[in-house]
Amino acid sequence: MKKSVRIFWRIFFVGVGCFVLLIALANFGVFGKMPSLEELENPSIQQASEVIAMDGTLMGKYFTERGNRSNVNYRDISKNVIDALVATEDERFYDHSGIDFKSTMRAVATGGGQGGGSTITQQLAKALLDQGSKNMFNRGIEKLKEWIIAVKLERNFTKEEILTLYLNAVPFGNNIYGIRNAARTFFKVEPDRLSIEQAALLVGMLKGNTVYNPIRNPVASRDRRNVVLGQMAVNNKISNAEAAKLKALPVKTNYAKLDENTGYAPYFREILKDEVRRVLKDVEKPNGDAYDIYKDGLKIYTTINPRMQEYAEEAAAAHMPKLQAALVAQAKIKNGTVWKEHDDVLQKAMKNSDRWKNLAEDGLPDKDIKATFLKKVPMKIFAWNAKREKDTIMTPLDSIKYHRQMLQTAFMVTDPMTGEVRAWVGGINFKTYKFDHANLNTKRQVGSTIKPLLYMDAMENHGFTPETMVLDQQQNFGNNQLVPATGKSCTGREMTMASALAFSRNCASAYIMKQVGPREFSDFIGKLNIPTKIEAFPSMALGAMDLSLFEMMWGYSVFAGRGFSTRPVF
């Protein structure tokens, strides 16, 4: 009997010794690098950079696949969240030193049937170590490392700091990390405004952010929320009566996922991203590293006015469908003649499409690839409805035609005295059409919008006044250069300069151009600091030159700026 007891204690102490040795080896990094205390104090958790409007409104973010998070301080987290988390995930959180041996033994004895044994601190350690091996031996080593880090965390951080680190790191699914993003995404509130039932729902998601997602699985989410509410009652965070009342409530969310396609001014944010990168090229972090707009949690303050931005987008959405309806009602569009006349455009669009390139890479002959463009397939296309898209069945070739005939627009609002951009609409829908029509480098013929600048040149430098009489007649600039080309719209009558501008008379503008001179007008545009160099030619009078909306805003600022042009800035 004594011998068996000695054997037992020998085995026990050898086991304990091996366990201690494993912990020591893990702590010294034998099984992989362990984070230092400095790294624990400053965990390298990726943070999204936030774009902030002039009034403090969050416009959008820049982030990587695992970087959509925004840190929050403990004081800015609702007590309801803290109570729900501790009551559900770690009842003895304030009593243990990182490892709850009672819960661990219970988990071992029941095989996890009555809940896991990991404390909040251990879960944080796991998140900081980014572990998750399925190999049993590796998982055992990872568990040891979790325990070591958990103990270090408890020794060097307060309980409040550990809770804050944890709530800033946890995932809520769909690339949503941290309590702030979760609160904003599911309820459109800051984390300090979360009610008891909202906090319980979000804490419930930590057990399985897909299974208990309130958007995908509202019933399962409600049931899990009610489990959390029950735990809060058991732990005296709320009364049984309050828990029963809250359990009876339906799940209500105010879901608004923030990604590159949503939020305020998505076209503007793309332009801003390039500008921020340009500025950051000459700036280093205190440790000498370069800043990363996707990972370093930058706050980027802009000049955008959210209300003006909304008005601009609403104006485009109200106006463009009417123009689109007028376009598709034209005979050439309805009967398809326009595409017979521009078959080269279709052929080029097909060969530039991802579908064509992928099939070509697979070795399919051109003839067979073209055949696939004639077979109807299910797809989503842009539509002027609430979702800005609809499901349909059409051929890929028809989808090219559909999108090619979709009218685009651009809209910009600036403060003419400072040049600060208040609103920026680069197209009808950023998700479908990424090309920005408000960009400095996106140029189109400006047409009659050039006339106010021509008239200003005439008044400022050539003695014209609003009452000067001008001739509404086709003009010959020599070498048979006639402006306008046909002269059919010319009345042949004299009219005041003010009337000519009010009614946008082409022939009168040609007359003024002849008095001013193409070269002089080209130089005048250059004096407005418009970057594009305009070649001097007579049809400039009708706007037959390519400029961007950005540049036209630059030029037009001279009217409100009392003679001074101001570059749009943001």
Partners of residue 330 on adjacent β-strands: none
**pTM, 2 dp:** 0.76
Give which of 396, 400, 399, 298 is closest to 346, Cα–Cα.
400
> What does the alpha-carbon distance between residue 279 and residue 209 come to, in Å, rounded to a whole number?
38
Residue closest to 259 by CA, chosen among 248, 251, 250, 270 = 270
The full DSSP string for 327-374 is HHTSHHHHSSHHHHHTHHHHHHHHHHSHHHHHHHHTT--HHHHHHHTT
pLDDT bracket for residue 54 (50, 70, 90)? very high
Task: Name the residue with higher pLDDT: 258 or 23.
Answer: 258
pLDDT above 60 for 504: yes
Q: Given 3-state DSSP classes, what are the helix, strand and coil percentages for the chain, each rounded to the nearest 5? A: 50, 10, 40
For residue range 195-235, list pLDDT tens digits in order: 999 999 999 999 999 999 999 999 999 999 999 999 999 99
Q: pLDDT confidence of 111, banded at 50, 70, 90?
A: very low
pLDDT tens per residue across span 95-106 = 887 777 665 555
Average pLDDT rounded to a whole number, residues 500-515: 96
The DSSP 8-state label assigned to residue 48 in this structure reads -
pLDDT reading at 108 higher than 50: no
Fold of 69-247: Penicillin binding protein transpeptidase fold (1.10.3810)
**Interval 54-68 mean pLDDT:** 86
As a whole number, the mean pLDDT across the chain is 87
The pLDDT of residue 561 is 87
Cβ atoms within 10 Å of 337's Cβ, excluding its own: 12
Better-scored residue on pLDDT, 351 or 2: 351
Nearest-CA neighbor of 191 among 47, 81, 89? 81
| Residues 146/122, Cβ–Cβ less than 8 Å | yes
**Residue percentage of the chain with pLDDT more than 70:** 86
* CA 558, chain centre distance (Å): 33
The answer, yes or no, to whether residue 321 has pLDDT greater than 80, is yes
Q: pLDDT digit string (tens) for 177-195?
A: 899 999 999 999 999 999 9
Q: Above 80 in pLDDT, residue 113? A: no
Q: How does residue 112 score in pLDDT terms, banded at 50, 70 and 90?
A: very low
Dihedral sign, Cα of residue 151, residue 152, residue 153, residue 154: positive
- Strand 546-548 to 443-445 pairing: antiparallel
Calculate mean pLDDT across residues 387-397: 94
What is the predicted pLDDT for the residue at 355? 92
Per-residue burial over 198-208, b = 16 or more CB atoms within 10 Å of its CB, e = otherwise: bbbbbbbbbee
Helix or strand (DSSP H, E) at 408: none
Can you tell me whether residue 299 is helix, strand or coil?
strand
Q: What is the pLDDT of residues 264-307, one digit of tens each?
A: 999 999 999 999 999 999 898 888 889 999 888 899 999 999 99
Taking the C-alpha atoms of residue 320 and residue 429, their distance in angstroms, rounded to an integer, is 11
Residue-range domain boundaries for the chain:
69-247, 307-404, 447-544
Percent of the chain with pLDDT over 90: 66
List pLDDT tens digits, range 9-39: 666 555 555 555 555 555 555 455 666 666 6
Q: Which residues contact 20 (CB under 8 A, 6 or more apart)?
A: none
CATH assignment of 447-544, among 3.40.50.2000, 3.30.479.30, 3.40.710.10, 3.30.360.10: 3.40.710.10
Q: Among the residues of 42-175, which ranges form H helices?
A: 79-89, 101-110, 120-129, 136-156, 159-169
pLDDT tier at 117 (50, 70, 90 boundaries)?
Answer: low
Over residues 471-500, the pLDDT tens digits come to 999 999 988 888 888 778 899 999 999 999
| pLDDT tens column, 132-181 | 555 555 555 666 777 778 888 888 889 999 999 999 989 998 888 899 99
Distance CA 107, CA 480 (A): 95
Residue 36, pLDDT score: 62
| pLDDT given for residue 109 in this prediction | 46
